[in-house]
């Protein structure tokens, strides 16, 4: 099931391996390089989300499956939006997902800002080789002269200034002699290109800003489209995978690398960019900017709110790395934008947890059941398997006594057809316990049922000889009213009511599901008292729950519902 689902990227890699395209590469010390090198290149400007998980699983997964390498690279070329806090959480998220960037060739954790000197020298080379020039137009002039999709652009009046003049200006830009926006370094390509990205794109801009790693060393910073191919080539990347919106940027990616290879900076074969469709998940949003809005406007309780599609959020919700990897495999890699249904993510979690999660009983909406013929002082142990399909994992036990908590929905005074649980005159089995026969109920002054009465059959206990004589259609879950753990339980649901909350410029905040978090007090099987943070259980009939990583303490557990047992959304 977890086997790699073949995709077009694997097909491409297989073809490159067959042709030996990247087979003969060596590093400067003459050591052979892996034939498959990918990278995960986040900008450290926010928390990672499920879309990033897709990219992580794809890039690190390919490296793993082909015995190659995936570099962990922080694309920190934009000084103003980046912070160390984000670097730390990203490292944490990737490691938690089960990947790492170490191999016999070293520890491949990189920062694009470490390449600033190299990038700068390459830019000087592009100037001296006639492939770049300093433009001194204003931003407005430049935008105007760029043309549009139907009209070619106009050459800048500075386009043909002498190479020496451009070089001199570029050095003075670096030295801090100019203000932001006074000059810009541009590639000299073709202002009439039908591809707007080839109309003399900017390479370096002036930005008097403090950088989280290089401090105030630089006041010029490389543009993403110039920096990215260089980063890839420095790290010996073979397959540079990015999302579809970068397709039109590919010609410039190739232009940069070919010019620099001609200049002797890089050896061929060069990295190649391939685009794939970004992950869009229904009932979720995957835009850092919009997620930030949810946090800042306190619509959710922070980045790690279990309703958030961030990696820290779904982790706290109870998702496992294995479930996320499984989801990424199942959702495939495609060349056309599409939506993956939230139920695919939820299904992956169920499939991962079902064989693993120990079982426990929880009563979420409690109603008192009184066994009138059960001796007042008697308590008796009932036993249940820890996991129904793994007897080797042993048993758990919990007491039964005269008063129990059952689920409110397990009693109806006047049953409808097909209702097999408690109603006066009906027999049901208390799961792992006795068969009881319902007699009557107590009501408050408003007619609300506050307790149910029954009698039990002492020879009907589950696992005993006599139990076979009792046939009941209904089985209900329960915990002893005197022996249980009272715990805060948070019932989470999807954050949005609309499957495409932000599609077509819609106001995603208008489709927030107000019932996506319900906090209740539940009665749990007494063994749950010692649950450790992050432990996952199946609460029988209710779904999979996790002891909250932040708020749960042994002795005082707090549980989150990660997912219900089956997909009951909308039913």
Considering 288, 307, 396, 429, which one is annotated as catalytic? Answer: 288
Q: Does 526 bind ligand ATP (CB under 6 A)?
A: no
Cis peptide before 269 (omega within 30 of 0): yes
Q: Return d(Cα 348, Cα 365) in angstroms, integer.
A: 27
Helices and strands: H and E segment counts in the chain: 12, 29
Angle at 526 between CA 521 and CA 530, to 5 degrees: 95
Minimal distance in Å, beta carbon 268 to ligand ATP? 24
The verdict on whether residue 278 carries a ligand-binding annotation is yes
The verdict on whether residue 53 carries a ligand-binding annotation is yes
- Annotated catalytic, 188? no
* Interface positions, 255-294, toward ligand ATP (CB under 6 A): 278-279, 286-288
Q: Does 42 bind ligand ATP (CB under 6 A)?
A: yes
Considering 10, 25, 43, 368, which one is annotated as catalytic? Answer: 43
Question: Of 37-45, 156-164, 344-352, 510-518, which segment contacts ligand ATP by CB under 6 A?
Answer: 37-45
**Which residue's structure tokens are 């800042």?**
296
Q: Return d(Cα 155, Cα 145) in angstroms, integer.
A: 7
What's the token pair of residue 230? 């260089």
The verdict on whether residue 269 carries a ligand-binding annotation is no
Phi (first) and psi of residue 250, to 5 degrees: -60, -40
Size of the site for ligand ATP (CB under 6 A): 14
Q: Does 312 bind ligand ATP (CB under 6 A)?
A: no
Contact status, residue 537 vs residue 489, Cβ threshold 8 Å: no
The verdict on whether residue 350 carries a ligand-binding annotation is no
Considering 174, 278, 541, 549, which one is annotated as catalytic? Answer: 278
* Interface positions, 472-501, toward ligand ATP (CB under 6 A): none
Minimal distance in Å, beta carbon 278 to ligand ATP? 4
- Annotated catalytic, 278? yes
- Annotated catalytic, 461? no
Q: Return d(Cα 60, Cα 101) in angstroms, integer.
A: 8
Of the CA atoms within 13 Å of residue 338, those in its CB half-sphere come to 9
Q: Does 542 bind ligand ATP (CB under 6 A)?
A: no
Cβ proximity to ligand ATP: between 35 and 55 the closer is 55
Q: Return d(Cα 110, Cα 299) in angstroms, integer.
A: 35
Q: Does 34 bind ligand ATP (CB under 6 A)?
A: no
Cβ proximity to ligand ATP: between 52 and 429 the closer is 52
Out of 34, 37, 47, 54, point to the residue binding ligand ATP (CB under 6 A): 54
Q: Return d(Cα 228, Cα 235) in angstroms, integer.
A: 11
Residue 215: CB atoms within 10 Å: 9
Question: Of 41-49, 373-381, 395-403, 412-420, which segment contacts ligand ATP by CB under 6 A?
Answer: 41-49
Minimal distance in Å, beta carbon 324 to ligand ATP? 13
Out of 9, 13, 35, 55, point to the residue binding ligand ATP (CB under 6 A): 55
Question: Of 30-38, 40-48, 111-119, 258-266, which segment contacts ligand ATP by CB under 6 A?
Answer: 40-48
Edge-to-edge strand order for the sheet containing 449-456?
474-476, 427-430, 435-443, 449-456, 366-371, 403-407, 478-480
Distances (CA, A) of 397 to 392, 479, 480: 15, 11, 12
Minimal distance in Å, beta carbon 290 to ligand ATP? 8
Residues in the chain: 571
Taking the chain, what is the end-to-end CA distance rounded to the nearest angstrom?
28
Q: Does 344 bind ligand ATP (CB under 6 A)?
A: no
Contact status, residue 421 vs residue 450, Cβ threshold 8 Å: no
Question: Of 47-55, 168-176, 179-187, 520-528, which segment contacts ligand ATP by CB under 6 A?
Answer: 47-55
Q: Return d(Cα 209, Cα 188) in angstroms, integer.
A: 27
Minimal distance in Å, beta carbon 220 to ligand ATP? 21
Phi (first) and psi of residue 167, to 5 degrees: -60, -45
Mask for 231-260, x = binds ligand ATP (CB under 6 A):
-----------xx-----------------
Minimal distance in Å, beta carbon 313 to ligand ATP? 14
Question: What does the binding site for ligand ATP look like in residue numbers (CB under 6 A)?
Answer: 41-43, 51-52, 54-55, 242-243, 278-279, 286-288
> Among all residues, which ones are annotated catalytic?
43, 278, 288
């Amino acid at each position: 099931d977890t086997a790699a689902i073949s995709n077009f990227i694997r097909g491409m890699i297989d073809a490159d391996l067959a042709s030996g395209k990247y087979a003969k590469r060596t590093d400067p010390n003459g050591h052979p390089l892996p034939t498959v090198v990918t990278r995960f290149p986040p900008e450290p400007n926010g928390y990672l989300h499920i879309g990033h998980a897709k990219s992580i699983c794809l890039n690190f997964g390919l490296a793993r499956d082909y015995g190659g390498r995936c570099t962990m690279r922080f694309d920190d070329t934009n000084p103003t939006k980046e912070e160390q806090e984000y670097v730390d959480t990203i490292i944490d998220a990737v490691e938690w997902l089960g990947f790492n960037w170490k191999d016999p060739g070293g520890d491949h954790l990189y920062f694009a800002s470490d390449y600033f000197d190299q990038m700068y020298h390459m830019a000087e080379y592009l100037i001296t080789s006639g492939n770049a020039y300093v433009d001194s137009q204003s931003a407005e002039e430049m935008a105007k002269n760029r043309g549009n999709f139907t009209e070619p652009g106009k050459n800048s009046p500075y386009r043909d200034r002498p190479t020496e003049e451009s070089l001199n200006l570029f050095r003075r830009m670096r030295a801090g002699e100019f203000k932001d926006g006074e000059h810009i370094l541009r590639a000299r390509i073709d202002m009439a290109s039908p591809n707007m990205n080839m109309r003399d794109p900017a390479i370096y801009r002036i930005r008097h800003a403090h950088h989280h790693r290089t401090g105030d060393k630089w006041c010029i910073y490389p543009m993403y489209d110039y920096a990215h191919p260089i980063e890839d080539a420095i790290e010996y990347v073979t397959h540079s995978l990015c999302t579809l919106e970068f397709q039109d940027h590919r010609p410039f990616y190739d232009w940069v690398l070919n010019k620099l290879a001609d200049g002797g900076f890089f050896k061929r074969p060069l990295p190649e960019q391939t685009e794939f469709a970004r992950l869009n998940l229904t009932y979720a949003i995957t835009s850092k900017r919009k997620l930030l809005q949810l946090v800042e406007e306190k619509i959710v309780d922070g980045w790690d709110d279990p309703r958030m599609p961030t990696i820290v959020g779904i982790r706290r919700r109870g998702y496992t790395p294995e479930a996320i990897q499984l989801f990424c495999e199942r959702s495939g890699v495609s060349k056309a934008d599409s939506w993956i249904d939230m139920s695919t993510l939820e299904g992956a979690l169920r499939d991962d947890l079902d064989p693993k999660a120990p079982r426990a009983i929880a009563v979420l909406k409690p109603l008192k059941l009184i066994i009138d013929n059960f001796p007042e002082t008697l308590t008796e142990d009932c036993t249940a398997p820890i996991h129904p399909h793994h007897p080797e994992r042993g048993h758990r036990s919990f007491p039964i006594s005269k008063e129990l908590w059952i689920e409110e929905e397990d009693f109806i005074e006047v049953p409808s057809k097909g209702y097999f649980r408690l109603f006066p005159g009906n027999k049901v089995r208390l799961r792992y316990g006795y068969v009881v026969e319902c007699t009557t109920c107590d009501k408050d002054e408003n007619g609300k049922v506050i307790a149910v009465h029954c009698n039990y059959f002492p020879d009907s206990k589950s696992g005993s000889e006599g139990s076979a004589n009792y046939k009941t259609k209904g089985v209900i879950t329960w915990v002893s009213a005197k022996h249980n753990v009272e715990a805060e339980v948070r019932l989470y649901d999807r954050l949005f009511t609309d499957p495409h909350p932000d599609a077509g410029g819609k106001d995603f905040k208008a489709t927030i599901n107000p019932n996506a978090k319900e906090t209740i007090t539940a009665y749990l099987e007494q063994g749950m008292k010692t649950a450790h943070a992050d432990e996952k259980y199946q609460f029988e009939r209710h779904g999979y729950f996790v002891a909250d990583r932040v708020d749960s303490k042994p002795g005082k557990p707090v549980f989150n519902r990660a997912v219900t047992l089956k997909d009951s959304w909308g039913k």
